[in-house]
Amino acid sequence: MKFTFSKTARHRVFQHDPIYYDEQKEKREERERRIKEELGLLTDDEKEDGYADRIKGGMRRRIKSHYEVSRSEKRKSNLRLVIILIALMILGVYLIQEGMVWLETFFAD
């Protein structure tokens, strides 16, 4: 696991979720198109639509959802914060102890 203390800016992604999306309708239309293609009833324009749908569906399955990405980023950020706090606490305890030793030697004279 790689630890970095500075983040690089990432591009923002526009995510549009259609309001009136009917997944069953798209599956039904895809089945109808495949059946028409097997029977030889499709025109050239309709054949191109099937190709685009396969690309779109393949990309959807491969891309992580926004929730998964933000969750992993939050986990990394929290881990980084804990490591920094532990390091600062160790440094603080060390400085306090050394300061006490210095004060004891300074005022012992």
* pLDDT averages per 10-residue partition of the chain, 109 residues: 68 75 85 83 60 57 64 88 97 91 79
For residue 1, tell me if it sits in a domain.
no
Please check whether residues 52 and 78 belong to one and the same domain. Answer: no
Please check whether residues 57 and 77 belong to one and the same domain. Answer: no
Please check whether residues 48 and 80 belong to one and the same domain. Answer: no
For residue 6, tell me if it sits in a domain.
no
Which domain covers residue 89, as residue numbers? 72-109
CA torsion sign for 30, 32, 35, 36 is negative
- Asked if 7 and 81 count as a contact pair (C-beta separation under 8 A), the reply is no
For residue 5, tell me if it sits in a domain.
no
For residue 105, tell me if it sits in a domain.
yes
State residue 94's pLDDT score. 93
Please check whether residues 76 and 106 belong to one and the same domain. Answer: yes
CA-CA distance, 39 to 47, in Å (whole number)?
Answer: 13
Please check whether residues 56 and 33 belong to one and the same domain. Answer: yes
For residue 3, tell me if it sits in a domain.
no
Q: Using alpha carbons only, what angle is made at residue 54 by residues 53 and 60, rounded to the nearest 5 degrees?
A: 90
In this prediction the pTM is 0.38
